[in-house]
């Protein structure tokens, strides 16, 4: 038997449906022209103005030959070819076709020199189709970026990105195998100077649209850089609200004081390497008690106001059975974990020469993840509850609208290709630990369309907030929500995340650079944890798609500017060699595990 309030809320949803019909019809009359905000030289986009890459199948795209690229790269490193060839010629590039065959989506391609290649993109056709169907379109075209985005075919063309990644050092306090950075194993130390770090951050804020991003310091192990705390502090000083570290957690586990210093400097997230539950699941890292170390790091960081994002690389047949156990870990700790990042394996670095049999056996796609979550936890329906992370950009557009033209920064926007990343949100009661997929009680497809209509009308703050409230209410089913969850809780979540009301910071605590530990504690008082389970699929030479690269949301900062070949393709795509300190003539090899982009917007609801 449902609580009486649930029946009252059901009546309100019916009333909201009627009110929405009137509101939406009136709102279509003479929509306002889009304004140009301070953070962009181009106006906000209406939904029909947003461009999309070719979607559906069969479709043609541009890709890379898995054999040509390593050969060309080596010739550049050996000085036999000039690096300018990457800017002026389409070396290693071949055409590819996305097709459906036997209930799977495949990429197939042929190189005139090396022959035929194919790889699986999805094992669930309907899931793949759903992701592309609800993709809302690309962000505002990148501009004022000519000096920083000039990398030939790999140049980022759309939006600002969501995570700016900066490798502070290639030094590490572990010797993992494999290591996508080859940390401690390349024969030289590559470590940024303080002036280089400042220049990269100063350059970053010059690109438009100037949106909020997560600045992620990575490595190697970034906490080993002598400038780690200074870098965190400076990133916040130039205006970025979300600063994070991709870390193995050892330094944070060793010292609560170091955690306090990092938090005071402005560290908001620890993107924590997390291979599984228990020391046995982490034993391949050659540290016997590594899981205990992770738990200590999580405790120390959380106590000092830093949020933790466990990140796990998943290999089919190797550790995909850990998916359910990791999610259960988050469900058991709803006051500590509000975001999980799963990263299907990318065959890069030392794995570039993987055999076809092993690659086919170990390939893990986003569709694998959605089904593993359902099968191992019983949570979520792949087609109903999983969305491309770019789906959130419609809500970012709404936040840009209500914050008006005078805002100095745009909302973080995850505008990546629908084949890149997915997510499912769970609403968890921190007291009872009941968990329900958000889109089980909120019609995801329809609310995306409703909010786009509110955005297209371009009204002022008040009417746009009213439109959002009506859209949420009419798409809400109180009988499918968690037992103690109320409609008012849903409305407060959106206010807390996007700052809909004028005094949101006073009510929930600040998320801006001047936030304090008291602000963090106030935001954590919320009874409801919005747990976002994300999957980010990194490209390799076998599934590389330039349409994905063009709208990458994870730009990689180098001394030459922001590398238009994102961090997850730096071994997959030919790219300009970066300058390095005290380094012989060899390329950098960092590539895969790191994303978390859209997290800054979503995780702030916890």
- The per-residue pLDDT for range 284-317, each reduced to its tens digit, is 676 667 889 999 999 999 999 999 999 999 999 9
The whole-angstrom separation of Cα 431 and Cα 487 is 18
Model confidence at 472: pLDDT above 50:
yes
504-538 pLDDT, tens digit each:
998 999 988 888 999 999 999 999 999 999 999 98
- Within a domain: 258: yes
Quick one: pLDDT at residue 601?
Answer: 30
* Range 97-117 average pLDDT: 98
Domain annotation covers residue 185: yes
Distance separating alpha carbons of residues 266 and 187, to the nearest angstrom: 33
SS3 530: strand
> Is the per-residue pLDDT at 404 higher than 60?
yes
Residues 46-64, mean pLDDT to the nearest whole number: 97
Across 57-72, b (16+ Cβ under 10 Å) vs e yields beeebbbbbbbbbbeb
pTM for this predicted structure: 0.91
Within a domain: residue 291?
yes
Domain count, the chain: 1
What percent of the chain has a predicted confidence (pLDDT) above 90? Answer: 74
Find the CATH number of the domain harbouring 394: 3.20.20.70
Digit-coded pLDDT (tens) for 252-267: 999 999 999 999 999 9
Kindly state whether residue 447 falls inside one of the protein's structural domains. no
For residue 11, tell me if it sits in a domain: no
Q: What is the pLDDT of residue 569?
A: 44
Distances (CA, A) of 341 to 43, 344, 358: 33, 10, 24
Residue 3 inside a domain? The answer is no
Provide the H-helix boundaries in 458-598.
461-474, 487-498, 504-508, 517-523, 546-549
Give the integer Cα–Cα distance in Å for 601 and 499.
Answer: 11
In a domain? residue 19: no
Instruction: Kindly report the average pLDDT of the chain as a whole number.
Output: 89
| Residue 189 clears pLDDT 90, i.e. is over it | no
Residue 5 in any domain: the answer is: no
**Mean pLDDT on 10-35:** 96
536-586 confidence digits (pLDDT tens)? 998 999 999 999 999 988 888 887 777 644 433 444 444 333 443 433 322
C-alpha 331/C-alpha 437 separation (Å) is 12
418: containing domain: 31-442+477-606
């Amino acid at each position: 038997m449902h609580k009486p309030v649930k029946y009252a809320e059901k009546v309100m949803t019916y009333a909201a449906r009627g009110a929405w019909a009137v509101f939406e019809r009136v709102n279509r009359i003479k929509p306002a022209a889009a304004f140009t905000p301070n953070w962009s030289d181009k106006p906000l986009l209406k939904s029909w103005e947003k461009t999309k890459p070719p979607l559906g199948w069969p479709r043609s795209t541009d890709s890379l030959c898995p054999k040509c690229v390593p050969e060309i790269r080596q010739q550049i490193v050996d000085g036999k070819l000039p690096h300018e060839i990457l800017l002026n010629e389409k070396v290693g590039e071949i055409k590819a076709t996305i097709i459906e065959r036997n209930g799977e989506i495949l990429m197939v391609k042929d190189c005139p020199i090396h022959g035929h290649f194919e790889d699986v993109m999805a094992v669930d056709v309907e899931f793949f189709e759903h992701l592309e169907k609800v993709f809302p379109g690309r962000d505002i075209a990148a501009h004022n970026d000519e000096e920083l985005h000039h990398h030939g075919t790999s140049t980022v063309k759309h939006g600002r990105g969501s995570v700016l990644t900066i490798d502070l050092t290639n030094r590490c306090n572990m010797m993992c195998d494999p290591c996508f950075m080859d940390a401690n194993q390349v024969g030289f130390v590559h470590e940024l100077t303080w002036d280089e770090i400042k220049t990269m951050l100063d350059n970053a804020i010059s690109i438009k649209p100037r949106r909020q991003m997560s600045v992620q310091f990575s490595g190697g192990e970034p906490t080993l850089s002598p400038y780690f705390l200074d870098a965190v502090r400076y990133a916040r000083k130039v205006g970025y609200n979300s600063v994070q570290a991709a870390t193995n957690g050892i330094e944070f586990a060793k010292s609560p004081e170091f955690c306090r210093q990092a938090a005071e400097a402005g560290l908001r997230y620890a993107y924590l390497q997390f291979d599984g539950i228990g020391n046995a699941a982490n034993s391949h890292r050659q540290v016997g008690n590594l899981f205990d170390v992770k738990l200590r790091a999580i405790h120390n960081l959380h106590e000092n106001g830093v949020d933790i994002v466990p990140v796990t690389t998943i290999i089919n047949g190797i550790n995909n059975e850990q998916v359910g156990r990791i999610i259960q870990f988050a469900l058991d700790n709803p006051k500590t974990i509000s975001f999980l990042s799963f990263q299907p394996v990318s065959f890069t670095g030392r794995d570039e020469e993987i055999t076809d049999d092993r690659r086919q056996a170990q390939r893990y796609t986003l569709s694998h993840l959605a089904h593993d979550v359902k099968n191992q936890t019983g949570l979520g329906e792949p087609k109903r509850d999983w969305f491309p992370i770019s789906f959130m950009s419609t809500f970012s557009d709404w936040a840009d609208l209500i914050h008006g033209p005078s805002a100095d920064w745009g909302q973080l926007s995850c505008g990546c290709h629908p084949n890149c990343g997915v997510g499912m949100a769970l609403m968890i009661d921190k007291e009872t630990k009941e968990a329900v997929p958000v889109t089980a009680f909120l019609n995801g497809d329809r609310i995306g369309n409703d909010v786009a209509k509110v955005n297209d009308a371009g009204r002022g703050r008040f009417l746009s907030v009213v439109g959002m409230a009506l859209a949420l209410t009419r798409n809400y089913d109180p009988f499918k929500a968690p037992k103690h969850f109320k409609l008012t809780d849903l409305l407060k979540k959106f206010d807390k995340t996007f700052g809909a009301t004028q005094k949101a910071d006073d009510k929930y605590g600040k998320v801006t650079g001047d936030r304090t530990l008291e602000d963090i504690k106030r935001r954590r008082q919320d009874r409801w944890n919005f747990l976002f389970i994300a999957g980010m699929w990194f490209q390799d030479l076998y599934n590389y798609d330039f349409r994905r690269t063009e709208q990458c949301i994870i730009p990689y900062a180098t001394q030459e500017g922001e590398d238009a070949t994102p961090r997850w393709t730096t071994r997959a795509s030919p790219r300009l060699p970066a300058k390095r300190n005290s380094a012989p003539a060899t390329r950098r090899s960092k590539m895969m595990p790191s994303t978390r982009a859209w997290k800054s917007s979503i995780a702030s609801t916890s």
